[in-house]
Structure 1
Amino acid sequence: MPTRRPTADEALLLDNQLCFALYSASLAMTKLYKPLLDELGLTYPQYLAMLVLWEGDGLMVSELGQRLSLDSGTLTPLLKRLESAGLVSRMRDVADERRVHVHLTPAGRKLKARAAKVPECVLAASQCSIPELLQLTAQVRRLRERLVA
């Protein structure tokens, strides 16, 4: 249903800013995740990398970076820390040494079972139904795609 265009003053109200709603929700989400991920010994970016690797082990660093929207300057130190923690190993491709594959170690695979409680905790804290969260996630993903395009 179409609504009227906000006045200039209304458009500048903090509570009318999509960017602030997303930013403050992100801060709240990070605060929610912190103790859950501390139990796993992961930072939030490390958790995201592990999620991608749990979906498909043995990805190239470049593929991992694409999935996470991270450049190699950010991703390389993150992977080094995961490797130091014994969760992943990095191996150069024998056919092309510029390509590096990231593999889960047995400890990295085992961590997935412990991480399984994280989504349930987020679902409970959100006080949303699963369909609501799926719809919200899809809307935010579409927004991101439009902004990037």
Structure 2
Amino acid sequence: MLSDYRMREPRQEDAVAVHDLIGRCEPLDENSLYCNLLQCRHFAETCVVAENDGGVVGFVSGYIPPRTSNTIFVWQVAVDETARGTGLGKKMLMELLSRPACRSVNWLHTTITEDNAASWGLFSSLARDLSARIVKKEFFDRDQDFQGRHDSEFLAEIGPFRTYFI
């Protein structure tokens, strides 16, 4: 049940658990542990940890890009295998949008590879729940930007929507 999951801002001491979680969540790209430390420390207001029985089972990393105070960029959504299919990913995203840090946010951006059906499904469902449109645009090209080392990433733009900060 979704009520079994506790949502909160990450803390520095969560970084190893977050790093391990992302490592178990293919096809997510693993970042360095140092990157996860920075996310948990410097970007805690725009990241979400989900716990169940004291363990980290979900993580959303995001940030508000410079010069775009009305947009949150969601970097990754990681959900442990034991929590998949429960709606936890969307619950974490809605938690993020309800935070004081997102008070002026009415757009959500993320990038997704074309073949990641689970992520497209999650963000399409989120757009419906927000009564917003989702637009897909090529963002990082496989050959030009990644020099063949990574699939193209498509920008999913969701918005505009009403802010949910209370």
Q: TM-score, length-normalised on structure 2?
A: 0.27
CA radius of gyration, larger in: 1
Structure with more strand by fraction: 2
Greater helix content: 1
- TM-score of the aligned structures, taking structure 1 as reference length: 0.29
